Amino acid sequence: MTTDTPALLQNYLAGRWQAGSGPGTLLRDPVLGTGLARVSSGGLDLAEGFAFAREQGGRALRALSYRERAAMLAAAVKVLQANRDAYFEIATANSGTTNRDSGADIDGGIFTLGYYARQGETLGDARFLLDGDASRLGKDPAFQSQHIMVPTHGVALFINAFNFPSWGLWEKAGPALLSGVPVIVKPATATAWLTQRMVQDVVDAGVLPAGALSVVCGSSNGLLDALEPFDLVSFTGSAETAALIRSHPAVSAQSVRVNVEADSLNAALLAPGTRPDSEVFKLLVGEVVREMSTKSGQRCTAIRRVLVPAELYDAAAEAISAKLATLSVGNPRNKDVRMGSLVSREQLDTVQAGLARLRAETDLLHDGAGHALVDADPAVAACVGPTLLGTRRPQDARLVHEVEVFGPVATLLPYASLDEALATIRRGQGSLVTSVYSDDATFIADAALELASSHGRVHAISPDIAALNTGHGNVMPMSLHGGPGRAGGGEELGGLRALGFYHRRSALQASAAALERLAAGGHRIAG
């Protein structure tokens, strides 16, 4: 590895670009080991930055209608599209991703922002939302109650994960800015460069009011201390960090609203009675391999547990392993490489430690160590081959239902009955998504209802929509993203439902005449 000290990335806070103090943290190319940039939040006046965002950014955003804010999002989309090539170069260097995987992050983020620009247009010139219809408060209809939703007079703090530096920003910022709430984003340090560059391009283009969008790179120390009662926190990361956020005095004493997306042992379920030569079986195998390899398995929605009828355990192990064996792993700059690296050597150590824990109660069905790296030095690169584990007695296993290895790792689990399979899936204690594979619409509907209470999304794949489905792990802005229990209990996206987090609901009790006058300035949504 090199010992160079590249330039310090600037933070944007309080309406101006600022460098943090000290040497900062060095960002490295996870394949080549070379230094790329440094980040530091040391010495920043966070209180000033938060106050500026609330007072300047918030006031300017709330003065606009949803339609006008949507137009700003559309303008930001054009800025991002114009700089798309630079983003791909940064992603390859800083995240170690292939162009295909970089596109999932970069193009996915831009698409999501554009989606909320289009959704905002449908809200027209309103400045608040009418939540359902007015209700009588007595026999006489002259006195009624109307629920309204207005933008919170605070700032939205995003503490994001390392795996999606583009999408993680824009899937949150789109609904927040459309709602009229200013954003301060703290990207994960390891891959902060792409987030910082995107914010820089949008800020420099002048398409948003001053204070509407800020970025702080480096340490998160002091960020939570700057929160006030009407602020919001949206966090993506580990359950341990989420617990620290929820116990912070700003949250516990001031009731700061928090949304969390944490660990998730997502599952894939192959329907009983499936034949090994069927299209349904092939769809499961293909999806498992895609989920293990995309972003090198570094997706919060990736398949971690694969449940198949007991009689298909050996066939599934053989079919998945055969496809995994064809994957080339290494330097994403090489056109023959299918799977790039993890984001850092630290993450590689974490994945290998997690694998060692799971190996204590599983068999090795496909060994990732057998993949020779392409154009990459194993002593330097954070590359690891895909690993398929398995156990014939999942009911006796514990760690496979508790430990998420955030990399290209999945565990194959047989089941003897559907009830056993559903119970095994629920041992994950709440997940972002589970997928169901069947050609029986009735089975899909029944299984989805059984799984819905413990999953934010149920993704059903059948041969009739094989070419149309968006994929187990792909998060679409039209659908809910989040999950109960260990997945964090949060909700993001889901169309206009995402705006609810950034609005405050209030009930106005008044004369029918006053409520009619009020309704003229709002946009009614379903109650």
With pLDDT > 90 as the criterion, what percentage of the chain qualifies?
98
At 180, phi and psi to the nearest 5? 100, 25
Mean pLDDT value across residues 346-353: 98
38 pLDDT more than 80:
yes
Q: Could you tell me if 515 and 130 are in contact, meaning their C-beta atoms sit under 8 angstroms apart?
A: no
Q: Which residue has the tokens 């070419």?
A: 467
Query: pLDDT band for position 235 (50/70/90)?
Result: very high
Determine which one of 261, 404, 491, 492 is catalytic.
261
Query: pLDDT band for position 527 (50/70/90)?
Result: low
Q: Residue 472: which of 485, 484, 456 has the closest Cα?
A: 456
**CA dist., res. 458 & res. 480, Å (int):** 10
Cβ-Cβ contacts under 8 Å for 419 (sequence gap 6 or more): none
Mean pLDDT value across residues 206-233: 97
Cβ-Cβ contacts under 8 Å for 362 (sequence gap 6 or more): 389, 390, 391, 397, 400, 411
Number of other residues whose CB lies within 10 A of the CB of residue 22: 14
Average pLDDT over all residues of the chain: 97
pLDDT digits (tens, 9 = 90+) for 458-480: 999 999 999 999 999 999 999 99
The three-state secondary structure class of 159 is strand
Domains in the chain (CATH in brackets) are: 14-262+491-525 (3.40.605.10), 267-477 (3.40.309.10)
Give the C-alpha distances (Å, rounded to integers) separating 470 from 107, 287, 452, 467, 478: 14, 11, 19, 9, 12
Query: pLDDT band for position 3 (50/70/90)?
Result: very low
Q: Residue 122: which of 502, 503, 499 has the closest Cα?
A: 499
Pairing verdict, β 480-483 and 490-493: antiparallel
Q: Residue 406: which of 244, 165, 186, 163 has the closest Cα?
A: 163
Asked whether the CA dihedral 493, 169, 458, 354 is positive or negative, the reply is negative
Cβ-Cβ contacts under 8 Å for 381 (sequence gap 6 or more): 30, 31, 32, 33, 96, 330, 331, 341, 373
Q: Could you tell me if 69 and 221 are in contact, meaning their C-beta atoms sit under 8 angstroms apart?
A: no
At 382, phi and psi to the nearest 5? -90, 50
Q: Could you tell me if 190 and 342 are in contact, meaning their C-beta atoms sit under 8 angstroms apart?
A: no
- Known catalytic membership, residue 261: yes
Mean pLDDT value across residues 8-15: 97
3-state secondary structure 165-234: CCHHHHHHHHHHHHHCCCEEEECCHHHHHHHHHHHHHHHHHCCCCCCCEEECCCCCCCCHHHCCCCCEEE
Q: What is the pLDDT of residue 4?
A: 55
**CA dist., res. 126 & res. 519, Å (int):** 10
pLDDT digits (tens, 9 = 90+) for 166-183: 999 999 999 999 999 999
Q: What is the pLDDT of residue 280?
A: 98
DSSP assignment of 270-329 equals EPTT--TTSHHHHHHHHHHHHHHHGGGG--TTS--EEEEEGGGHHHHHHHHHHHHTT--E
pLDDT digits (tens, 9 = 90+) for 266-314: 999 999 999 999 999 999 999 999 999 999 999 999 999 999 999 999 9
The three-state secondary structure class of 493 is strand
Q: What is the pLDDT of residue 492?
A: 97
Query: In the structure encoding, which two tokens stand for residue 167, read together?
Result: 């999408």
Residue 4 amino acid letter? D
Q: What is the pLDDT of residue 105?
A: 98
DSSP H helices in 35-98:
46-52, 58-62, 66-82, 84-95
Mean pLDDT value across residues 380-394: 97
Query: In the structure encoding, which two tokens stand for residue 162, read together?
Result: 């390392």
3-state secondary structure 228-252: CCCCEEEEECCHHHHHHHHCCHHHH
Determine which one of 171, 300, 383, 491 is catalytic.
300
Cβ-Cβ contacts under 8 Å for 511 (sequence gap 6 or more): 142, 143, 144
**CA dist., res. 99 & res. 336, Å (int):** 12
**CA dist., res. 385 & res. 364, Å (int):** 13
Mean pLDDT value across residues 1-26: 87
Mean pLDDT value across residues 359-377: 97
Q: Taking every pair of C-alpha atoms in the chain, what is the biggest distance, in angstroms?
A: 79
Q: Which residue has the tokens 């289009």?
A: 118
Give the C-alpha distances (Å, rounded to integers) separating 312 from 285, 288, 337, 499: 12, 15, 31, 44
Model-level pTM? 0.96
Q: What is the pLDDT of residue 526?
A: 80
**CA dist., res. 202 & res. 78, Å (int):** 9
pLDDT digits (tens, 9 = 90+) for 88-129: 999 999 999 999 999 999 999 999 999 999 999 999 999 999
- Known catalytic membership, residue 68: no
Mean pLDDT value across residues 417-435: 97
Number of other residues whose CB lies within 10 A of the CB of residue 290: 16
2 pLDDT more than 50:
no
Mean pLDDT value across residues 503-515: 97
